[in-house]
Structure 1
Amino acid sequence: MKPGHTEDRPGADAQLARWQRFRKSRNAALAAEHGWLTLTSFQWLEGQPAAVDLVPGRWSTDGTTAFLTAAASDGLTMVEGGDPVDGTISAVLGDEESLLWVQFGGDDGRQVVVELVMRADRYALRTRDAASPVFTEFDGVPVFDYRPDLVVEARFVRYPEPVDVPISTANPLVDGVHRSVGDLVFRLPGIPHELHLQAEEEGLGALAVTFHDETNGAAAPDQASAEWRKVSTPRPRPDGTVILDFNCAVNYPSAFTPFGTCPMPVKNNSLDAPIEAGEKDPCSAG
């Protein structure tokens, strides 16, 4: 029987059904109004009020506060409350914070949402346009076939204290930090040695790992994944074990749009094996 066939292990039908529900939920989340698939620009704000691409008004920052000056005729309204922008408004964010700030365009005045973000201690704008072809033509992320053999048990080895590791991101002008809380140690079929991935902690004690593997940029488009992916796990059990399901590996927003600032994996999170499970490269996979 072909490795990875869903009849290879007990509970295969239930596992497959659970994964199919996950995929349906994932595609629905990506197709959300003004979600990641609608990003159409990323622009730094300057010190003097100036026009920016794709958005009315004049925008600036003094380093601490962001400012927008617009007339009612520009058609900008506040996302929160819908009041028109007529004059100068301001907002203050902390690093890594975001604000869906103003909107304009379309029949309802909400086609484009302008998101204010603080990245690398600098203010920037991202436009989220509901008319973006990436969004309007989306019909689901291409995925590898379900692989029950890539649902593995891992051992979580927590560090005495979290370790902040400097990392790069999808935007070369934005640096990031990976707060590693421990290692996930596991084996994969056909690999004779143990594998280790540094993990971050998410809500309620869940873990997440960002990783490279040998499907990144594969020569055959239908076997290629994006340059890096992420997989989350439940909270480890009392004995430190956790289920690591690579079928639930997902792309970061930067796989769909050049305007993301998504974190790259830490140096050691590169697997010397092809993880032919989870999401493929949405730009090249068939």
Structure 2
Amino acid sequence: MDNLPAAKLERWQRFRDNRNKALAARHGWLTLTSFQWLEDPPAAVELAPGLWSTDGTTASLTAVPADGLSLVESGDAVTGTTTAALADEESLMWVQFGGPGGDQVVVELARRAGRYAIRTRDAASPVLTEFTGVPTYGYKPEWEVAGRFEPYPEPVDVPIATANPLVDGVHRTVGEVVFRVPGSGHEFRLQAEEEKLGALTVTFHDETNGETTDDWRKLAVPRPRPDHSVVLDFNRAINYPSAFTPYGTCPMPVKNNSLDVRVEAGEKLPSAD
């Protein structure tokens, strides 16, 4: 690493600092303490006061003043029954309670696979309070590789599994990223999803999974150039939230997004030394 340009190392370190800062958000992914499906009729749930239910179209919460619940958006106390409706895959930081400010725990309403669920996000969770950063491999310039993007004529929806076995997902594939990596003599093709402003995301398996890395990771790829060339910097491969919590519904890679090499770059298992 001593021979690398200082600017490159500085950019990577800035990326790592920003990544750890984002993970340490007060009600971020490290604070999840439960995932619970809502049913009909109204019923109590774990780790949150009130009575919760859904008719399949709308989620409902009934509370009394002693429950100490308030709406996240307005801060207004929840008394009686309040409702919310979401489209599939949407989430809402809905209500909060607990702690000196009444906002230690936020209850997130989510709709997944056509069903309503809630997730509690507790700012006092040890996963957050004991967090010191995600372990990573050291920066390796050889894992910054050139490739090309081969777009499909139209996006293709591919059914996938997720980190929650009860939630199915869909990967909207917009094309394939084609490249070679160190230690392999053949090309790889990873199906990609499109993000904002034309950037891409690839979700992939590799031979380090389950040993030094989580079962899968993802990599953001900057928007392809006019000639469709791209750069994949696997030093910036990151974990999905499901690496840190059992309450995620993160998408798994599509069937063919597997690399038969050890990608010893990017983030490691959160429990790695």
Given the alignment, which residue of 165, 170, 182 partners 1:177?
170
Residue matched to 1:13: 6
Given the alignment, which residue of 232, 246, 249 partners 1:258?
246
SS at match of 2:131: coil
Provide the rounded CA distance (Å) in 2 between the counterparts of 1:54 and 1:147.
Answer: 43
**Which residue identity does 2:57 align to in structure 1?**
T
Given the alignment, which residue of 30, 38, 47 partners 1:37?
30
**Which residue identity does 1:279 align to in structure 2?**
E
Q: What's the CA shift for 1:36?
A: 0.5
Q: Contact conserved, 2:137 with 2:267, CA < 8 A, in 1? A: yes
Q: Contact conserved, 1:153 with 1:242, CA < 8 A, in 2? A: yes
Q: What's the CA shift for 1:47?
A: 0.9
TM-score, reference length from structure 2: 0.98
Q: Contact conserved, 2:40 with 2:53, CA < 8 A, in 1? A: yes
Q: What's the CA shift for 1:16?
A: 1.2
Q: What's the CA shift for 1:14?
A: 1.8
Question: Does 1:247 find its partner at 2:235?
Answer: yes
Residues 1:6 and 1:197: Cα distance change in structure 2 (over 3 Å): farther
Q: Contact conserved, 2:38 with 2:54, CA < 8 A, in 1? A: yes
- Percent identical across equivalent pairs? 70
Residue matched to 1:113: 106
**Which residue identity does 2:206 align to in structure 1?**
D
Q: How does 1:1-286 map to 2 (within 5 A)?
A: 5=1, 7=3, 12-218=5-211, 224-283=212-271, 285-286=272-273
**Which residue identity does 2:111 align to in structure 1?**
M
**Which residue identity does 1:155 align to in structure 2?**
R
Q: Contact conserved, 2:180 with 2:188, CA < 8 A, in 1? A: yes
Q: What's the CA shift for 1:217?
A: 1.1
Q: Which runs of 5+ in 2 are unaligned?
A: none
Alpha-carbon RMSD = 0.8
**Which residue identity does 1:154 align to in structure 2?**
G
Q: Which runs of 5+ in 1 are unaligned?
A: 219-223
Provide the rounded CA distance (Å) in 2 between the counterparts of 1:260 and 1:282.
Answer: 15
Matched pairs, number:
273
CA deviation vs aligned residue, 1:219-272 (integer Å, no higher than 9, x gap) = xxxxx0111000001100011101100000000000000000000000000100
Q: Contact conserved, 1:6 with 1:16, CA < 8 A, in 2? A: no
Q: What's the CA shift for 1:216?
A: 0.3
**Which residue identity does 1:138 align to in structure 2?**
F
Provide the rounded CA distance (Å) in 1 between the counterparts of 2:238 and 2:215.
Answer: 11
Provide the rounded CA distance (Å) in 2 between the counterparts of 1:242 and 1:13.
Answer: 23
**Which residue identity does 1:246 align to in structure 2?**
F
Q: What's the CA shift for 1:196?
A: 1.0
CA deviation vs aligned residue, 1:134-170 (integer Å, no higher than 9, x gap) = 0000010000010100000111011111111000000
Provide the rounded CA distance (Å) in 2 between the counterparts of 1:161 and 1:86.
Answer: 48
Provide the rounded CA distance (Å) in 2 between the counterparts of 1:217 and 1:191.
Answer: 21
Query: Mean alpha-carbon deviation: is it higher for 190-199 or for 249-258?
Result: 190-199
SS at match of 1:144: coil
Provide the rounded CA distance (Å) in 1 between the counterparts of 2:29 and 2:2.
Answer: 32
Q: What's the CA shift for 1:6?
A: 5.5
CA deviation vs aligned residue, 1:20-61 (integer Å, no higher than 9, x gap) = 000000000000110010000000001100000000000000
Q: What's the CA shift for 1:190?
A: 2.4
Provide the rounded CA distance (Å) in 1 between the counterparts of 2:52 and 2:263.
Answer: 44
Q: What's the CA shift for 1:76?
A: 0.5
